[in-house]
Amino acid sequence: MIEPQISNQVSEWEQAWAAEQPLFKQYAQIERLIRYSHIIGNVASKAMIYGENGYVRAFLTKKSYQETQEDGKKLLEHKIAEKTINEVKAAINEFLKISQTMRLMLRKKEDLHSKRFVNIFKKFDESVIKIFAYFLTTWEATVYCSEQELQKIMQSSYPPDWMEKLAILTTLIKSDLLFREKVSWLGVIKDPVKKNIEKHMLRFPFLFANIESEEDSFNIISERLKSGSLSDIKNEIAKNKKRLFKIKSSQNKIFKEIKSKKARELAYLLQEFGLLRLELKNCWMGIHFYLFPLFLKISETSGLSIKDIMMFWSIKDMLNFVESKKVVSKEEMKQRREFYLLVFERPIMSFYSGSKGMEIKERILGSGSSEIITEFKGIIANKGKAEGVVKLIKFDDLRLIEKMAKTINERFILVAGMTNPIMVPLIKKAKAIVTDEGGITCHAAIISREFNIPCIIGTKISTQILKDGDLVEVDADNGIIRIKKRTK
């Protein structure tokens, strides 16, 4: 694999990921390092996250990356890998059970300040943080050693075309979240009664990431029903089944040729983590769906907009509200809208907002111009070459994604901190994908193979270097992005 390079600034910090996400998820991503350091991958000694107008960037030190990779070596032992897979599945089931119980209580107008609701909210808080902890377990740095070990086996078994064989072995052969959503949606189209629609929404809350109300969520479903084609969905499902069967046959052929038990174990781990990472993403992307009634109640009490509460309150703020009716001041909200910063140095997390946060962030990261960079590298997820204009995706809202997809006539280069399941309408129109983060079984890798488009992941800097309108060449045969012309 081609290692990413950062050539614009010498720093102990490296960007881990970037995306449009609310503050309460950032708190969870630091809290996991404090509460769940015993879970594989949650051992970083230093981390930092900052948010500017709702768009966040997360950083780890180089040492923290190394600590995470070292901890990930535990997964090389198959018994530990199996145990971890089962733990992740249990955490997902626990989260869904608690979230749906809490949502039911909220819809039945449960007193938010009752002991019963406070207790369920505390359980919800713990389950959210555990979901994020296991998301880190399946992260690229944590599985790095497992990927490298499988890569070595492929290099020794297939010297000329090991990369192609590695891609085959790490491609999912089980039905993933997106396939299951298609199958479920087919059932909704056939019988679009309210009960079936609500059941679908509860199963796949990732569809409503950063949506502000249940009404908006139902509107998304209504619009989708108007434009949905039964035959198209059936064809997609049939096509995907054939693709999975073909990949499974190719994998079995490779396993018979190399006769390596270790390769089977590693491929199994990486594929299971690829599946589970999507399931974990479904959980944390869909958290809003379970919290809509709470956001509404806080809004009525505080006078703040639902969007402000959704994007700029922490779980701690929400817990303070349900326990003692405390609300975040309007002045503090103003500061957070502009900028906020979370700094973690084990075992302490510090939070800053406004100009104070900006000042500390500049002191830690410094400021460097990216204009001098003409090319940079990443990890090859799917081979191929493409040249085109950059579309920088810095939002996670299905409404905006579908609107953009409808207005784009020419194919483009999709650049994002990371891709996620709701980006599929845009990915279908992309010439290539470039991301800041990702391992060989991340969503971008999975989806690029499904659509057979060039993909480079794990650049760490693409969203900092590239701008909308830049003309770039994506050379996914060599893992290089070349900037041909800067937009003015």
Euclidean distance between CA atoms 147 and 152, whole angstroms: 9
pLDDT band for 58, please (50, 70, 90 cuts).
Answer: very high
Say if residue 31 is in the same domain as residue 148: yes
Residue 443 burial (10 A CB sphere; 0-12, 13-18, 19+): buried
4 in a structural domain? no
User: Residues 35-49: what's their mean pLDDT?
Assistant: 98
Whether the model clears a pTM of 0.85, i.e. scores above it, the answer is: yes
Q: Is residue 1 part of a domain?
A: no
CA gap 283, 236 in Å, rounded: 25
Spatial CB neighbours of 394, under 8 Å, sequence gap ≥ 6: 18, 19, 20, 55, 416, 417, 463
Residues 64 and 203 in one domain: no
Residue 191 counted as domain residue = yes
Strand 385-393 to 412-416 pairing:
parallel
Tell me, yes or no, whether 289 and 149 share the same domain.
yes
pLDDT at 369: 52
Q: Which residues on adjacent β-strands are paired with residue 48?
A: 59, 343
Residue with tokens 């994007």: 311
Phi-psi domain of 354 (left: phi exceeds 0; alpha: psi -120 through 50; beta: other)? left
* CA 191 – CA 194 distance, rounded (Å): 9
Mean pLDDT, the chain, whole residue set: 93
Single residue among 207, 240, 258 that ends a domain in this structure: 258
Same domain for 119 and 135, yes or no, is yes
**Does residue 37 fall inside a structural domain?**
yes
Q: Which of residues 368, 397, 418 is at a domain's end?
A: 368
Full domain range(s) for residue 417: 375-485
**Residue 395 and residue 380 in one domain:** yes
Q: 49: which strand partners?
A: 58, 342
Half-sphere exposure of 270 (CA within 13 A, CB side): 32
pLDDT, tens only, 123-136: 999 999 999 999 99
Q: What is the DSSP letter of 371?
A: T
Residue 33 lies in a domain: yes
pLDDT at 232: 87
Domains contained in the chain, number: 3
Answer yes or no: do 76 and 104 share one domain: yes
Q: Is residue 3 part of a domain?
A: no
Name the amino acid, one letter, at 115. K
Asked if 395 and 303 sit in the same domain, the reply is no
- Name residues whose C-beta falls within 8 Å of residue 270's C-beta, 6 or more positions apart in sequence: 143, 146, 147, 150, 169, 170, 440, 441
Q: Domain check: are 142 and 287 in the same one?
A: yes
pLDDT for residue 1 is more than 60: no
% of the chain at pLDDT higher than 70:
97
Query: Angle between the 177-190 and 194-203 helix axes, to the nearest 10 degrees?
Result: 170
User: What mean pLDDT comes out for the span 342-363?
Assistant: 96
**What separation, in Å, do the N-terminal and C-terminal C-alpha atoms of the chain show?**
34
Assess if residue 2 is contained within a domain.
no
* Cβ-Cβ contacts under 8 Å for 103 (sequence gap 6 or more): 289, 290, 293
Domain finish residue from 338, 368, 398: 368
Do 298 and 362 sit in the same domain of this protein? yes
Please tell me whether the peptide bond between 347 and the residue prior to it is cis, using omega within 30 degrees of 0: yes
Helix count (H) and strand count (E) of the chain? 20, 13
Domain contains 138? yes
Residues 332 and 412 in one domain: no
Residues 363 and 292 in one domain: yes
**pLDDT tens across 282-323, in order?**
999 989 889 998 999 999 989 999 999 999 999 999 999 999
Question: In the predicted model, is pLDDT for residue 327 greater than 60?
Answer: yes
Do 481 and 400 reside in the same domain of the chain?
Answer: yes
Q: What is the CATH number of the domain that holds 426?
A: 3.50.30.10
Task: Report pLDDT digits (tens) over 172-226.
Answer: 999 999 999 999 999 999 999 999 999 999 999 999 998 888 899 999 999 889 8
pLDDT at 214: 87
Per-residue model confidence (pLDDT) at position 371: 56
